């Protein structure tokens, strides 16, 4: 129905049985669909039908959200990516208390991250993975948790259906000795379609503050690199030009704990560990050491 002032015969939209046009509840509102706080109901012959969660609307990419809530829950973002090709460089800061994350795009579920404190952390396969400080008073091992569902809509979180019983296995627990800092997730988008991505954040414990950056797709910038060598000294003596590689910056910073790929879409990390000499005008270094996940362990100048 059109936006207007309506009156309910109950304390909440969910508990009401009818919608009225006046505060005295004498004139029924017309039959049709009504919504409030992410839930819609149809009024038929003056009687409200069962409540249904509204579909999740897309939020266009290119935003950063700094969430400060004291409420546990499952928080879902449906992100519109348009038709542009490239890579989505998601940055996620969990803070002290563990939070779970999973990103779904084009049939693939992404859970692994690169921490700017601990480097590459392999996530659980196809399951939400939980990152944070292992000393936090958030006992993941005491699951299952009963968590409310929310969706991100027009800059706020609104209810999104009934609560979910969420069990967390030991394989999903990726907490670290201290806060993991910024967590980088690299999501390739090699095709115009699909143009939506789903991001799920799970906060099983109170103090669910987090920061999440969801940029639009962009192409990674290339640089030339020499052949892999066993030492920094040998790498610096190597001729440049054997390889063309691409760096995904961690939290916008090129250097330690960035990730290196052999393509500009971030589909193929460089998996040969060792030292590489590079040329790239945007970098303050000209060699780096990679691990077997393409993560930069250290950088320097020859």
Answer whether residue 1 shows pLDDT above 60: no
pLDDT given for residue 254 in this prediction: 96
Question: Residues 230-252: pLDDT tens digits?
Answer: 999 999 999 888 799 999 999 99
pLDDT digits (tens, 9 = 90+) for 82-125: 899 999 999 999 999 999 999 999 999 999 999 999 999 999 99
Supply the pLDDT for residue 142.
86
What are the boundaries of each domain within the chain? 7-53, 59-214, 222-300
pTM over cut 0.85: no
Cα(59)–Cα(37) distance, integer angstroms: 17
Asked whether the predicted pLDDT for residue 53 surpasses 70, the reply is no
Closest listed residue to residue 243, CA positions, set 275, 267, 219, 281:
275
- pLDDT at residue 56, rounded to an integer: 61
Place of tokens 């659980």: 124
Range in 49-58, 60-69, 221-230, 269-278 with the lowest mean pLDDT: 49-58
How much is the pLDDT for 62? 95
Question: What is the reported pLDDT for 70?
Answer: 72
């Amino acid at each position: 129905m059109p936006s207007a002032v309506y009156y309910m015969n109950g304390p909440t939209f969910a508990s009401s049985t009818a919608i009225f046009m006046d505060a005295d509840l004498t004139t029924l509102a017309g039959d049709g669909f009504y919504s409030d706080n992410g839930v819609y109901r149809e009024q038929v012959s003056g009687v409200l039908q069962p409540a249904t969660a509204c579909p999740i609307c897309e939020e266009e990419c290119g935003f950063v959200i700094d969430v400060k809530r004291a409420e546990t829950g499952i928080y879902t973002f449906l992100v519109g990516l348009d038709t542009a090709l490239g890579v989505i460089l998601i940055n996620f800061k969990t803070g002290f208390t563990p939070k779970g994350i999973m990103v779904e795009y084009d049939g693939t579920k992404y859970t692994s991250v690169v921490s700017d404190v601990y480097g590459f952390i392999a996530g659980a396969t196809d399951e939400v993975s939980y990152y944070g400080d292992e000393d936090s008073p958030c006992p993941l091992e005491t699951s299952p948790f009963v968590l409310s569902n929310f969706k991100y809509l027009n800059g706020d979180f609104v209810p999104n259906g009934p609560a979910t019983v969420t069990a967390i296995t030991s394989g999903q627990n990726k907490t670290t000795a201290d806060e993991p800092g910024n967590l980088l997730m690299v999501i390739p988008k090699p095709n115009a379609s699909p143009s939506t991505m789903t991001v799920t954040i799970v906060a099983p414990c109170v103090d669910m503050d987090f920061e999440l950056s969801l940029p639009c797709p962009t192409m990674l910038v290339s640089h030339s690199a020499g052949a892999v060598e066993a030492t920094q000294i040998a790498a610096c003596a190597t001729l440049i030009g054997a390889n063309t590689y691409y760096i995904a910056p961690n939290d916008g910073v090129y250097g330690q704990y960035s990730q290196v790929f052999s393509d500009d879409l971030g589909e193929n990390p460089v998996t040969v560990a060792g030292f590489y000499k590079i040329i790239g005008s945007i970098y303050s270094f000209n060699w780096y050491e990679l691990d077997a996940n393409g993560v930069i362990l250290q950088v320097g100048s020859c």
